[in-house]
Amino acid sequence: MPLGFCICGLRMSKIKFISRVTSIYISIMRGTPLMLQLLMVFFGPYFLFGMSLGDSYRFPAVIIAFSLNYAAYFAEIYRGGIQSIPVGQYEAANVLGYSRAQTFFKIILPQVIKRTLPPVTNEVITLTKDTSLAFAIACAEMFTQAKHMASAQRSMMPYVAAGIFYYVFNFVVAFVMERLEKRLSYYR
């Protein structure tokens, strides 16, 4: 999420080159499958630079690929939230003598958080479910473990247990975010 915020800042930069390069990055990350990005991050150093990073690189590769991919999505969510704030908010802050930083952190950011909380919740839930893609580089995550247990036991119960875990975890995330959304509501 913080990386997405940084990318959002670069995407909204007034320097056209930086904005354009960031826009291309976001387009590539959102336009290609996460599985492909995961494979590129894991196998890329070897095929591009001849660097053999070994098995200990599997988990860091998963973290890097997921972070780069989801940061692009979060950046666009944040950008949409920032750009949805009416220009009158900025003008009012200017009239009141607020600096640009004060305007952003005291007036704009609280409104952006309220507006972007639902799509951020959706992305966090999707991220949780996408962790099962780590099997592509033989990173032992929960779905892979369930698959091994199911074949060893000749039973569907490990899959059911994994499904229940994903559901409960995502239910807790959605519940916490919904409570936060209600707490931040103007209409309370």
The CATH number of the domain where 65 resides is what? 1.10.3720.10
State how many domains the chain has.
Answer: 1
Q: Which domain holds residue 174?
A: 2-183
Instruction: Identify the pLDDT of residue 12.
Output: 94
Q: Does any domain span residue 163? A: yes
Q: Does any domain span residue 102? A: yes
Which residue did the predictor score with more confidence, 53 or 11?
11
Q: What is the pLDDT of residues 117-127, one digit of tens each?
A: 989 999 988 88
Across the range 8-28, mean pLDDT stands at 96
**Is residue 59 pLDDT above 90, yes or no?**
no
Q: Does any domain span residue 125? A: yes
In contact, 74 and 120? CB cutoff 8 Å = yes
**Is residue 88 pLDDT above 80, yes or no?**
yes
**Is residue 44 pLDDT above 90, yes or no?**
no
Instruction: Identify the pLDDT of residue 94.
Output: 92
Instruction: Identify the pLDDT of residue 187.
Output: 60
Across the range 69-88, mean pLDDT stands at 95
Question: Residue 36: which H helix or E strand, with range?
Answer: helix 34-49
Q: Does any domain span residue 149? A: yes
In this structure, what token pair is assigned to residue 90?
A: 């900025």
Q: Does any domain span residue 188? A: no
Q: Does any domain span residue 120? A: yes
Instruction: Identify the pLDDT of residue 58.
Output: 84
In this structure, what token pair is assigned to residue 140?
A: 């032992």
Confidence of residue 129 (pLDDT cuts 50, 70, 90): confident
**Is residue 148 pLDDT above 70, yes or no?**
no
Distance CA 115, CA 77 (A): 9
Confidence of residue 5 (pLDDT cuts 50, 70, 90): very high
Distance CA 44, CA 37 (A): 10
Q: Does any domain span residue 75? A: yes
Q: Does any domain span residue 31? A: yes
